[in-house]
Amino acid sequence: MLDKSFFVSETIHEKEVVLGDGSKHILYFKELPAIEYSKFHIAQSSIDEDVKAGSVAKLIAASLCNKDGKLAITYEQAIKLKPEPMNAIFVALMEVNKTTGKDQPEMSGSGT
């Protein structure tokens, strides 16, 4: 049997997100299974610009949650985020999921 560290935890992670105006926000995230990253990477290589552009929003919608673990935002809401908050949330999501810099995609038009 594999050690439990190989699997997604049920822990809800609290992260402080700071926006460019200095405002600080406490957000909560679920860990994501590898399959979500596989879908993300497939979407990132799509020739369909809407699929590619929406890939970050899909990860955010799958991970951003309330303190009780219920999802906090839908994909339809996530695609309406402003670029700066989307990028800040995405960075926090990647930190929670302990992905390395090489796994982080370039967010088109976000300045990253």
Tell me the domain boundaries of the chain. Answer: 32-99
pTM: 0.82
30-70 pLDDT tens trace: 999 999 999 999 999 999 999 999 999 999 999 999 999 99
Average pLDDT, the chain: 88
> What is the percent of the chain with per-residue pLDDT over 70, rounded to a whole number?
88
Assess contact for 58 and 40: CB atoms under 8 A: yes
Detail the DSSP E strand segments found in the chain: 12-18, 24-30, 64-65
Number of C-beta neighbours around residue 73 at 10 A: 19
